[in-house]
Each structure stands twice: as C-alpha cells, then as structure tokens.
C-alpha cells in the first residue's frame, strides 16, 4: 500500500517537473518568442494598412461588398410529385432528377437549385462578360461557372419562407447589378415553368381580352364603313355583308363578356391567395463592406506567430540537449 502511494507521489512530482521544464524553456527563449510575435504583428498591421490604400484591382486584400435581394416562396408541398410532373410537362423532366426532387418536395428547393443551374450561371456570365472580367483563358465556360458559384449564394430560411440571393465583389454597384439580374431571371423562370398557374392564366386572359376588344373595334369600324358606302353601292350586297359583321360582332361581344367575367373572378382568387413567387426587396448598392475583417486577421495571425515561436523554442531546446548528450551523439554517428 505504501509502495503504491510512493509511486503516485513520484509520478505527480515528475509531471510538475515536466511543466516547470516547459515554462523554463519558454522563459529561456522569451527573446525569440517576443521578437517573432512582434515582427508578425507589425507585418500584419502594415499589410492591412497597405491593402486599404491600394486600389481594389491591385490590393492583395481588397474590401468586398455583398448586396442581397429577398424573395418570398410559397413553400407549399407538392404531393404526388407535383413539381416533377410539372417539369415533365414543360420538357424539363431531367431537371427534377438533377435537383434531387422526390415525390414530396418544396418550391424553395427548386428555387435554390435554379440559382446554381448552368442556365442562370451562363446567362450571368454572358450578360456581364465575366470571362473577360475574371481574365479566364483556359476552359472559359467551366471556369467562369466555378468562379461565379463561389460568389453567388442562394439561401432559404424555412422559418420565414424567405429566399435570399447575394453576390460578393469588390465593386458594390456591379454586385448589385448581378443580384438584381439573377432575381429577375428567377422570377421569369418561375413564370416559364408555369408554377404559379393562376398568375399565368391571368396573363393569358389579359392577352385574350385585348385581342377580342381589338377585333370588336375592327368589326365596328368595318360596319360603319359599309353603312357609309351603302348610298353609292349595291344595297343588297352591302346588307348581306352588314348582317355577317353584325353576327360576328355579337359573337365577339359575348366572348369578351365571358372573358371579363373570368378575369374578374380570377382577380378575386389571386387577392385571396399567396403568390408562389414574390420579390420583397431588390438589391441595393451597399455602403458598408462585408469583408475581410482585417482586425480578426491580425489577431489570429499574431496568435499563430506566438504558437509557432514557442514551438520553435522547444525544437531549438531539443537540438541543444541532443548536442550536449554524448550518448545521443554516439547513436547519430553510427548512422
């Protein structure tokens, strides 16, 4: 029993000696540690100041700006593969598989996927000539997509149902233009896919109402023209033509009335339901940078230099001990 207690005391004593030795090495090499840490800190501060004074194109650490646009997605589940079947009907069935859409999914998942799809990426690249802007020479299409994906981010908040699109660049006005272009493109894409059926039906009704009204005006003008020419021409022939125009005019008016009724009912329906895709806020030109945090970089770099200098102190101390130990030197000489 006493032997066990003695062993524990000796073990504790050895541990205490080891800690003291570690602190002794740090204290002995404190000049080296302070010098390396100070040089690193001064160098990082100077580097940060230099990066602020240089233009963004030549600065090694330029200010970056990240404007964002907000959209609300009516994230109603589509049972029975609603989105997948909808994509199949529009000739984009492969999109469902690529997006990983299952039989029950959300429109927000589709929106996030569309932002990173090749169609919208290529549209942004071509619209803003990013291949030339980023000076891409090899594999221009693939490399421009990779560069854009690193800066263009789409995120969906499940609690609020809000989708945000953001883009990071050193030019705040350019970043805003990219975000707003992507927002408009995404809205157009949702319309093309026909996800919001009521909105699409409203657009079709507006076009049909306009065309029908134009046809009614043309028939009325043609009837007035025939009435004026009845005095000079054959009354019987003109009467037959007037009868035909009258019948067509009555038919067009009935069609116009039905279309207007459908349109007004649809307006009531739209007013009582949430739209599938609605833009809440367009991106604005940011006046505050989103990064980099130069203060944090200086702090982390200084601590890293301090740890490196302490590690170097231990290495130098170990080399010194090896040189002073004849047995260890003899082992090295054998090799």
231 Cβ contact list (under 8 Å, min separation 6): none
Q: What pLDDT score was predicted for residue 320?
A: 84
CB 69 within 8 A of CB 283: yes
Pick 18 or 115 by higher pLDDT.
115
- Answer whether residue 236 shows pLDDT above 80: no
Give residue limits of the domains in the chain: 2-59+292-334, 68-196, 198-273
Measure CA of the first residue to CA of the last residue in the chain; give whole Å.
Answer: 46
- Answer whether residue 165 shows pLDDT above 90: yes
Average pLDDT rounded to a whole number, residues 243-252: 86
- Answer whether residue 180 shows pLDDT above 80: yes
Max Cα distance, the chain (Å):
139
Task: Tell me the average pLDDT of the chain.
Answer: 80
Residue 68: pLDDT band (50, 70, 90) is: very high
**Which two tokens mark 119?**
């169609």
Classify 276 as helix, strand or coil.
coil
């Amino acid at each position: 029993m006493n032997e066990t207690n003695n062993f524990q005391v000796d073990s504790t004593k050895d541990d205490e000696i080891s800690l003291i030795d570690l602190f002794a090495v740090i204290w002995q090499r404190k000049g080296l540690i302070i010098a390396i840490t100070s040089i690193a800190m001064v160098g990082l501060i100077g580097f940060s100041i230099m990066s602020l004074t240089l233009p963004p194109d030549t600065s090694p650490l330029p200010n970056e700006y990240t404007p964002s646009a907000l959209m609300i997605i009516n994230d109603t589940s589509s049972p029975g593969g609603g989105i997948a079947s909808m994509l199949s009907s529009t000739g984009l069935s492969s999109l469902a598989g690529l997006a990983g859409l299952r039989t029950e999914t959300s429109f927000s998942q589709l929106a996030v996927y569309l932002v990173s799809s090749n169609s919208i990426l290529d549209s942004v690249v071509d619209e803003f000539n990013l291949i030339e802007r980023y000076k891409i020479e090899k594999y221009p299409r693939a490399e421009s997509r990779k560069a854009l994906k690193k800066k263009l981010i789409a995120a969906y908040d499940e609690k609020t149902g809000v989708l945000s699109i953001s883009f990071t660049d050193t030019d705040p006005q350019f970043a805003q233009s990219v975000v707003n272009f992507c927002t408009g493109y995404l809205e157009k894409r949702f319309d093309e896919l026909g996800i919001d059926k009521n909105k699409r039906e409203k657009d079709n009704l507006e076009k049909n109402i306009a065309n029908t009204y134009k046809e009614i005006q043309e028939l009325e003008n043609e009837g007035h023209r025939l009435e004026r020419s009845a005095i000079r021409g054959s009354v019987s022939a003109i009467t037959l033509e007037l009868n035909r125009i009258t019948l067509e005019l009555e038919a067009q008016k009935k069609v116009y009335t039905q279309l207007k009724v459908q349109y007004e009912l649809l307006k009531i329906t739209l007013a009582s339901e949430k739209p599938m895709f609605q833009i809440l806020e367009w991106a604005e030109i940011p006046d505050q940078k989103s990064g980099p945090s130069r203060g944090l970089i200086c702090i982390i770099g200084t601590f890293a230099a301090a740890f490196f200098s302490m590690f170097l102190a231990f290495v130098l101390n170990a080399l010194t001990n090896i040189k002073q130990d004849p047995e260890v030197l003899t082992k090295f000489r054998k090799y």
